[in-house]
Structure 1
Amino acid sequence: MAEALQQVLAQATSEACVFVFSGEGAHGADTDISMLKLSPSWPAVQQALRDVGQDDPEAFLQENLGEHTAPNSPLVTVSLNILHADLWRHWGQEPSLVLGHSVGEIERDLLSVTLCGTSAKDYLSSDPSSIQLRPCHPWHHPEAPVPATLPTGAAARIPFISSVSATQLTELPKDHWQRWQRSPVRFADALCLARDLTKSKGSGGVRVLEMGAHPVLAAAIKATFSELRYACSMRRGERAASFLRQQRAGLGVGFRRQLQQVLQGFIFGGRQLCHTTSFAAQGIASQQLVMLAEALRPFFPGLAAHDLYRFSNIDGLLDWGADEMSESFSPPKTVKVQELHFEILACALRFPGAVDTPGAFWSMLLKDDQDAAFAAAPKEGPKAAFLQYKFDHRTALTAAGAAGVEGAEAAAMDPQHSFALHLAAEMWHDSAEAAEAAKAEPERVGVYLGAWQPVVSDTRASAYANLRRAGMLSASGRCHTFSALADGYVRGEGGALFLLGSAGSGHGPTASRAQLLGSAVNQNSTQKPLSSVDPLAQERVIRMACASASITTAGLTAVELHGTGTPLGDPVEVSALARLGCAATMTASKMHLGHLESAAGAVGLLKAVLLCENCCVPSFKIHGGLNPQVRAAMEGSCLKNPGDEVELPAGAFLGVSSFGFAGSNAHVVLAPTPTARACPKYEADAWEPPVPLRQYEQSIVETLAIVKSLEDGSSKAKVEILAAPLPRKRE
């Protein structure tokens, strides 16, 4: 096996490499030149363009793409081809033969001369043919005018083929450009000569790289060479980074080995970077991934820090693009839902900022109040989003007493249990109709509890300190989701309880607040560290949830992101969403309430319910501006900028993501309830009166009775506890 691999590698490295430069007319208005700034020649080309009167070289290139008129268009073509050639050479592709078509001969000549020590700046600024050729007559015609002064040739280090004479040359004749102006292009003959030359040298194969803004010569090249590895630099209408990666990876083992040699000896953090060892094993933490991505970007087109989470080591990066074909995004389309899973019938909540009702939460979102939840945080001590008013020991005893728990038993009851009973009473009160339905058909009822998470207590102080030492908590005391100020998350306390009803059981329509159509959970790769994020797993869980809901990922209209506000966590999540092909509006809640940890998914679910009811995604301000890494993750996708207000169309599908600290990922898909059976929506600032004590006691007793009936088997009722609070260890 090892000998066979060595033979493959030996054959790959003996391949002849031919650079072919396309001529005028290849670039278009939809040409993406973003990757060309990674070329080593970019500074020199910029300066050369300034020397010929273009003060803003990048704007000049962008504005003239697709404008095929002299003198600007030939200059654009020459510049693009030079940048492409040096980019491929930077990746270890050294040509053994070069040729060009029409204007492509200028870059062919430049490449040969550059190898002898003449820079792109010197060549272009010496009034080259790309500037002097200002024809009033087509080129390659007997009557084409010839400028009095044109650059003369020089001896070249590598052989090249002239498409004027269809011969191999080692230097340009003095009258070459005059003949070029008035002679037809013999490109087919030049290609045949290139094929014959590579065969005569007994090379192990041929790699042909086409330099240009579009593969206009591909058909001619492939028809001439019977066996070859072909790649091109760019294709109009394609994202440059992903297209280049796919083309580069398609060159096979030989190119992979050459790139490894280019990266050999690469030093990062004072140590040589190992290609096969995982980043985590080399001690490269999340904070260092930004620096590593910056250092590796010239070798890996479009690489961002969040992309490194997709690969465990450099070897994985070398294959980046092998299975990534050009991505095209389709507009979202409504897909008929075949089966409904649950109806969301009622809810109850206690969130920071005195948000005790859905209406109060909606009011907070409409006002974009990012301060209220943090108002109770002490000036000294942990920065957190505390409940207002506190669910303290006295409140817990009151809730326990209302449930019939008294004395020592009430004192021993965990406050989280009392909190759950308190929410249960409010949940039943939220919808009398749903409560009556639950009594009549208990087998159709389920309960989803977003657990109450105390931020800081005597038993949790050590956990808080550990999170702070790990660099996960925000030093600024806020969750800056999507923001350039992102520096970690802020813990919050609270919880929510939802009453779910199964749908499609033939019992007739049920008034509900939203439809929960599909859901999925999965786990990060086992190779990922405990606190690491996994964009591949995040992408998979969204696809699974959409499949569960019988829709395509392109059908997602809006997505409530987990959005912790960490520098890399947000870009990673956005990058996973960007690969799904959806034109979704992105939103999040942690900038308003903090991170409620075990109850964070419940916050996102409640917000999605409110969005469904109001057919609107409220706007929010991103303090400090959009995180550049988030912007990079969105590049080329149809995702809409976060923070903008968006009206949701009829039949919209909404997604909610929630990710756990230990690598668990969850996603659900919701849709608005049809108007005919929708509950009256929660109105902003519609604060409901407190639940009367007698009704409160009765609701809790009924809840306990249902649970008790499950324990002793005296009822056929089926209550699904999808998530429950874990008892805290008592000192």
Structure 2
Amino acid sequence: MPVIQHVARHRDASAPDAVAVVGMACRFPGGIGTPGDLWKALCEGADLVSEVPPDRFDSGLFVDPRRKRPGRSCTSAGGFLHGIELFDAGYFGIAPREAARMDPQQRLLLETAVEALDDAGMPRDAWAGTDTGVFIGVSSRDFGELQTARPDTIDAYTMTGLASSVTANRISHFFDWHGESIAVDTACSSALTALHRACSHLRAGAGPAALAGGANVLLNPFGYAGFSAASMLSPTGRCRPFSAAADGFVRAEGAAVVVLRRLADALADGDPVHGVILATGANSDGRTRGLALPRREAQQALLESVYAGAGIDPDDLVYFEAHGTGTPAGDPVECEALGRALGSRRRTGALPIGSVKSNLGHLEAASGMAGLFKALLVLRHGSVPPTLHAEPLHPGIDFDRWGLRPTVRGERLADRDRPVVGVNSFGFGGANAHAVLAPHPEGAGARRALRLALADAGVSAGEVDHVNAHGTGTPPNDLVEGRVIEALLPHGPSVTATKGVLGHTLGAAGAVEAAVTVLTVQHGLVPPVANLERLDPALSLDAVRGGPRKQRVDVALSNSFGFGGHNTVLVFRTAG
């Protein structure tokens, strides 16, 4: 008869002001319409920068690679959305005449707001009449500039269609949300600053939820010409973060939003949790040698303040999504600030860093959302996609001294009990923002419970033959558990889940799973996972499918991860 070797329990201790990301939606260059599309593109190392489409402006008239003519751009490269002219005005109750006067940024944000609520499993009227807030990062005035060229088209809808404030206000109006409704313009840090404001809204106890996001569209050549005149754009048409060949950034379009709730509320209501925002912060460079020149001391101070205030050890960082535009002035300053604040203070090796701009281009006001989405996906999947165009590395950045390592190739995240990821975003006027993310909180407790169980039972990870997983059938939770099993038991023991056959017996679930595990050890017969047609592609578990598997099982685990973070791991082994 098998015996229980050890029981380990752990309760997650989530920060009281932690904020959950419960819904996500996006539009990014290259036809990316979902977070899953983004992850696929990143893992494939896709370079989604292209040329200015003919429906934007005639690049032949406004591009001069030799930069000898004023009012011209040095490049026609950019990351562009597909179909920005398409909009189902009737769905939103907007008349066609009004829709024609709406900035495409307003339309994209309405669409992604609806999709993000769908992703959160929330009906449209879930928070109607509440103090739910909306915080949108937006900076582009391209649509308005085009309208000024046609004063004969001005009508009753022109002003609301052009106003940046209305990017947020339309969302509040559509959902009947009564909380703060604010458009944030801090240039390239707008979206992450909007996220900071949204988290502050929730931490102050205002409303049941908040929506944060950003948008950027490129509709005329004036921004291209202006950034070229300032020597900010890459004449070779690529963002090359951390590279010796870095020569400027590439402009890009996009829109993305997240639905946020206080973590305690999200867990209590059973919301899907894509990730947790542990801390955010924002500051300004103040006076520098020039308005658009970054200040290392301010960036460093922001990082030190955020991490110290949240009680986060630099060694807990498993990845850092840098602003990483690939500009000769920006990257060295950011890397030194990051190294002084965090990288050089680590005891566990260099900090992996990367930048999504190498794939998409620089989404300017919306760029913080692109970085946030990548960071959340890195935590979800437990791996870091490669940063493109980074080699050869910049000789003026002492990566070894600063404890930093650009992720030029894909890699698995380091195993940490409390893994966190940082996201930077900086505006060219000196407005800086930062966010610290963590995975679904069940993951940390599950890791600790499993580690304790093995250690106290005197069992090595390689001795475990089988795991009876908690496996509830809820994708976010099951993915977290699967990642824990893969990380701590990399040799790949067989895995099953009793709930696929018996259902979730709630309070009795742990006892039922323990009984099944006892029988598995006793008879050497592993039951299959019922109703499992296809394993989640993000996992590589040895899940038993199709029928029972005859297998010698000397050591088995039974997991029970309860609501609210009560985690139990039982270790069974054959008697004698």
**With structure 1 as the length reference, what TM-score do the two structures score?**
0.43
1:704 maps to what in 2? none
Which of the residues 363, 366, 384 maps onto 2:40? 363
- Residue equivalent to 1:454: 217
Equivalent positions of 1:133-144 (< 5 A) are: none
Aligned 8 A contact 2:249 2:327 in 1 = yes
Q: Deviations over 1:428-450 (max 9, x none)?
A: 22232587865798632110011
115, 118, 122: which one aligns with 1:426: 115
Instruction: Tell me if structure 2 keeps the 8 A contact 1:351–1:495.
Output: yes
AA aligned to 1:622 is H
SS in 2 for 1:360: helix
Distance 1:520 1:623, change over 3 A: closer
Q: Report the Cα offset of residue 568 of structure 1.
A: 2.8
Cα distance in 2 for partners of 1:623, 1:665 equals: 23
Which residue matches 1:373?
Answer: 49
Q: Secondary structure at the match of 1:522?
A: strand
* TM-aligned CA distance change 1:585 to 1:336, over 3 Å: farther
Give the structure 2 partner of residue 640 of structure 1: 405
Residue 498 of structure 1: aligned partner:
258
SS in 1 for 2:401: coil
SS in 2 for 1:665: strand
SS at 2:216's partner residue? Answer: coil
- Bigger relative contact order (CA 8 A; separation at least 6): 2
Deviations 1:262-317 (A, max 9, x none): xxxxxxxxxxxxxxxxxxxxxxxxxxxxxxxxxxxxxxxxxxxxxxxxxxxxxxxx
Residue in structure 2 matching 1:530, options 280, 291, 295: 291
User: Kindly tell me: are residues 504 and 407 of structure 1, through their superposed partners in 2, closer, same or farther at Cα, counting changes over 3 Å?
Assistant: closer
Displacement of 1:594 after TM fit? 0.4
Change in 2 beyond 3 A, CA 1:671/1:467: same
Name the counterpart of 1:563.
Answer: 324
Letter in 2 for 1:385: G
**Mapping of residues 552-591 of structure 1, within 5 Å:** 552-579=313-340, 580=342, 581-582=345-346, 583-591=350-358
Give the distance between the partners of 1:454 and 1:508, measured in 2 at CA. Answer: 36
**Structure 1 residue 490, shift from structure 2 partner:** 0.5
Amino acid at match of 2:24: C
Distance 1:662 1:684, change over 3 A: farther
Deviation at 1:675, TM superposition (A): 4.4
Question: C-alpha separation between the residues in 2 aligned to 1:609 and 1:435?
Answer: 25
Return the offset for 1:620: 3.6
Indicate how the Cα distance of structure 1 residues 539 and 491 shifts in structure 2: closer, same or farther if over 3 A, else same.
same
1:417 to 99, 106, 109: 106
Deviations 1:664-710 (A, max 9, x none): 0000000010347836769789xxxxxxxxxxxxxxxxxxxxxxxxx
Provide Cα deviations, 1:45-88, integer angstroms capped at 9, x if missing partner: xxxxxxxxxxxxxxxxxxxxxxxxxxxxxxxxxxxxxxxxxxxx
Quick one: distance in 1 between partners of 2:477 and 2:92?
Answer: 29
Q: Provide, for residues 341-375 of structure 1, a one-character-per-residue CA deviation record: whole Å limited to 9, x for no partner.
A: 210011111111111111111011111112x3326
Q: Does the aligned pair in 1 maintain the 2:358–2:388 contact within 8 Å? A: no
Q: 2:23 aligns with which of 346, 368, 371?
A: 346
Tell me the distance in 1 between the aligned counterparts of 2:51 and 2:382: 30
**In the TM superposition, what is the alpha-carbon distance from 1:475 to its structure 2 partner?**
0.2
Query: Matched residues in 1 for 2:227 and 2:537: separation?
Result: 35
Q: Which of 361, 366, 370 is 1:603 aligned to?
A: 370
Q: Report if aligned partners of 1:337, 1:551 keep a CA contact under 8 Å in 2.
A: no
Which one of 296, 305, 315 corresponds to residue 544 of structure 1? 305
Q: Does the CA contact (< 8 Å) of 2:21 and 2:275 recur in 1?
A: yes
**Where does the alignment leave 5 or more consecutive residues of structure 1 unmatched?**
1-334, 686-731
Per the alignment, in what secondary structure is the counterpart of residue 239 of structure 2? coil
2:422 is aligned with 1:655: yes
1:670 alignment counterpart: 437
State the partner residue of 1:67: none
Q: Distance in 1 between matches of 2:283 and 2:233?
A: 25
Aligned in 2, Cα 1:608/1:435: closer, same or farther, shift over 3 Å? farther
Deviations 1:577-629 (A, max 9, x none): 11122342101111100000000000000001101101111234435411111
Amino acid at match of 1:549: A
Q: Which amino acid aligns with 2:45?
A: D
**CA 681–610 in structure 1, closer or farther in 2 if over 3 Å, else same:** farther
Q: What's 2:175 paired with?
A: none
Q: Residue 423 of structure 1 aligns to which amino acid in structure 2?
A: T
C-alpha distance in structure 2 between counterparts of 1:412 and 1:642, whole Å: 43
Which structure 2 residues correspond to residues 185-196 of structure 1 after superposition, within 5 A? none
Q: How does 1:303-318 map to 2 (within 5 A)?
A: none
Aligned equivalents of 1:386, 1:431: Cα separation in 2: 28
State how 1:92-491 maps to structure 2 within 5 Å: 338-370=15-47, 372-374=48-50, 380=60, 381=63, 382-392=75-85, 395=86, 398-432=87-121, 438=127, 443-450=207-214, 452-457=215-220, 461-491=221-251
User: Which residue does the alignment assign to 1:613?
Assistant: 380
Question: Quick check: 2:282–2:433 contact (8 Å CA) kept in 1?
Answer: yes
Distance 1:684 1:465, change over 3 A: farther
The verdict on how the C-alpha distance between 1:422 and 1:509 changes in structure 2, with shifts beyond 3 A counting, is closer
For each residue in 1:211-270, what CA deviation from the matched residue of structure 2 results, as whole angstroms up to 9, or x when unmatched?
Answer: xxxxxxxxxxxxxxxxxxxxxxxxxxxxxxxxxxxxxxxxxxxxxxxxxxxxxxxxxxxx
Q: When the two structures are superposed, what TM-score results if normalisation uses the length of structure 2? A: 0.55
1-side partners of 2:395 and 2:404: how far apart?
A: 15
Structure 1 partner of 2:148: none
- Aligned residue for 1:389, secondary structure, equals coil
| Letter matched to residue 642 of structure 1 | T
Distance in 1, Cα, partners of 2:124 & 2:384: 30
Aligned residues: 340
Q: Secondary structure at the match of 2:307?
A: helix
Equivalent-residue separation in structure 2 for 1:422 and 1:595 (angstroms): 22
The separation in 2 between residues aligned to 1:358 and 1:613, in whole angstroms, is: 11
Q: Is the 8 Å Cα contact of residues 348 and 430 (structure 1) preserved in structure 2?
A: yes
Quote how far apart the aligned CAs of 1:385 are: 2.7
- C-alpha contact 2:233 2:248 (8 A) present in aligned 1: yes
Q: Cα RMSD between the aligned structures?
A: 2.8
Q: Quick one: percent identity of the two aligned structures?
A: 32
Distance in 2, matches of 1:417 and 1:655, equals 29
On the 8 A contact 1:543/1:553 being kept in 2, the answer is no
Q: Secondary structure at the match of 1:432?
A: coil
Distance 1:684 1:418, change over 3 A: farther
- What does residue 318 of structure 1 align with? none
Question: Secondary structure of the residue that 1:525 maps to in structure 2?
Answer: coil
Contact 1:373–1:592 (CA<8 Å) still a contact in 2? Answer: yes
| Aligned mates of 2:310, 2:409 — CA distance in 1 | 27
1:81-96 mapped onto 2 (5 Å cutoff): none
Q: What secondary structure does 1:465 align onto?
A: helix
Q: Distance in 1 between matches of 2:127 and 2:262?
A: 11
**Residues 1:341 and 1:509: Cα distance change in structure 2 (over 3 Å):** same
- Measure, in 1, the Cα distance between the counterparts of 2:99 and 2:308: 46
d(CA) in 2 for partners of 1:625 and 1:348? 34
Partner secondary structure for residue 332 of structure 2:
helix
* CA shift in 2, pair 1:435/1:574, >3 Å: farther
